[in-house]
Chains A and B, each alone.
Chain A
Amino acid sequence: MQTIYILWLRQIKRYIRSRSRIIGALGQPLLFLLALGFGLGPVYQRAGGGDYISFLAPGVIAMSILFTAIFSGIEIIWDRQFGFLKETMVAPVSRMSIMVGRTLGGATVATMQGLIVFIITLFVGFRPESIAMLPAMFLTMFLIALLFTAIGTAIASVLQDFQGFQLIMNFLVMPMFFLSGALFPLDNLPKVVALLTRIDPLTYGVDALRGTLIGSMHFNFALDYSVLGGITVLSMIVGSYLFSRIQV
């Protein structure tokens, strides 16, 4: 238990201390909000979609959680490189608890990043539907964060260095983001795209987040949370298996 706590704390400390990283990671969501939000807003409104900023804000929050979470998971590669991974790997604690501590830490960090982006959306003019749903929003954010940190950890467990990182960004993370419905509604899509969006786990995260924030959603909470929860458990299991097999 103490192992999990100290490794969780380590992730938090590293996050809070890397201010340039926090601020740097805010640039992208801000750009999306401003450029897309105000750029496409009029078209979206004319097409009868309503306020695009309201639609976009949950998507951009989900995006920042996705990126931060995947990156937190991938951080294992850094630790492998700087040798710190070895320090934890030879300690007389189960690899499971190391993995859980790191993943919870990474997920907490990603949630904090998501909260910061949420606050930014407020400045851009976004207003959540109801304050009462904020705890649910918080929970959803954490679930998304947990899921993608676990996926990041699983991926990083099999990568030796950063050469595969670009591959993962371009063929996994970016498609997951663009096909999640973060930027466009899921109605009336071509069949192939509709199918792709439905196998993208982030889709359910974005949908649930939208449900808690603006009260409109494509699926329903029951489906969203079961998919998110199920895939989180699955990737935790796969992740800890791969993590336990790491040799350095």
Chain B
Amino acid sequence: MTDETIIDVHDLSKKFGELTAVDHISFQVKAGEIFAFLGPNGAGKTTTIKMLTTLLHPTSGEIRMNGFDPVHEQSKARASFGIVFQDPSTDDELTAWENLELHGILYHVPKQLRRQRMDALLKIVGLDDRRNDYVKYFSGGMRRRLEIARGLLHHPKILFLDEPTIGLDPQTRNHLWNYVKELNTKENITVFLTTHYMEEADRIAHRIAVIDHGKIVALGTSEELKQKTNTTNLEDAFLALTGSSIREEEASAVDTLRIHSRMWRRRS
């Protein structure tokens, strides 16, 4: 880890009509750091990530990603990061191999290096023998693993992992985090992650930001958060910071559409 700041967020807000999803947050992530973003459902984690990754324009505030502004220097900002999305984003009609290949080309990874990494990554995520199968026949966990392999293919400067371990068994999760740690130390890749598994954040993250109702309510190392809240583990610290009421998330148009398409597919 160095002292160089790679993600710089200043007074960032995002409003959807009346709803303020992200409310004037500021934080810095240092190059080479593993930074966890924790928060209950609907706290603003994914919205923040979308703004950092050029998918959404902020209502106000400033972002610097590797020195670039994601609103006005989109291409340069995009070249700086890789992302594993919370929702699936592979192409069902392509094979695992083709999905990786497409990604490698979009990120300008030279052919030889691309093939090498594709081989290595498919082995790591345990999909080596399924490389030529269509993704539509994959289970949820397999898709997840493929997406993770894909996100790592181009060795970005900053890697976003938005709840990457949902639906994975402990073995794969363990493998994944070990690989991420290795990438972090060997290639000095900055990792920005969100997760609902507190023990994962506890184990892997250098610093943790807790976000709730669009605001950062605490930021520090796991130890600091525990001290601050007078608790012995991160889960308790998290609950102390964010309360214990259950959050609702509204289903988006996309969710509704997904349900429809599932019905359609069953019919055909």
Contact = CB atoms under 8 A, between A and B. Distances in A.
**Interface residues of chain A: helix, strand, loop or mixed (majority):** helix
Interface stretch (B83-91, B120-128, B165-173): B83-91
A170 interface: no
A3 B106 contact: yes
B107 interface: yes
Interface string B70-97: 0000011011010101011111111000
Interface stretch (A12-20, A125-133, A222-230): A12-20
A96 to B, nearest CB: 11
A161 B106 contact: no
B55 A248 contact: yes
A14 B93 CA distance: 6
Interface residues of A, number: 34
B106 A20 contact: no
A23 B75 CA distance: 40
Contacts of B89: 82-87
Contacts of B253: 160-161, 163
Contacts of B94: 10, 13-14
A86 B106 contact: no
A28 interface: no
Given A87-B90, A247-B55, A92 B254 contact: no
Given A91-B107, A247-B56, A81 B254 contact: yes
B54 A18 contact: no
A14 B98 CA distance: 12
Point out which of B103, B106, B256 has the most chain A C-beta atoms below 10 A from its C-beta. B106
Contact of A91 (B56, B78, B260): B78
Given A2-B108, A6-B101, A82-B89, 11 more contacts: A6-B105, A7-B102, A81-B254, A83-B88, A84-B90, A88-B106, A89-B55, A90-B78, A90-B81, A162-B257, A247-B55
Contacts of B83: 90
B93 A17 contact: yes
Interface residues of B, number: 38
Interface in A3-49: 3, 6-7, 10, 13-14, 17-18, 20
A163 B76 CA distance: 35
Contact of A161 (B87, B93, B254): B254
Nearest to B78: A92
Contacts of B256: 161
Contacts of A80: 254
A128 B90 CA distance: 43
A13 B93 contact: yes
Contacts of A81: 254, 257-258, 261
A216 interface: no
B268 A20 contact: yes
A94 interface: yes
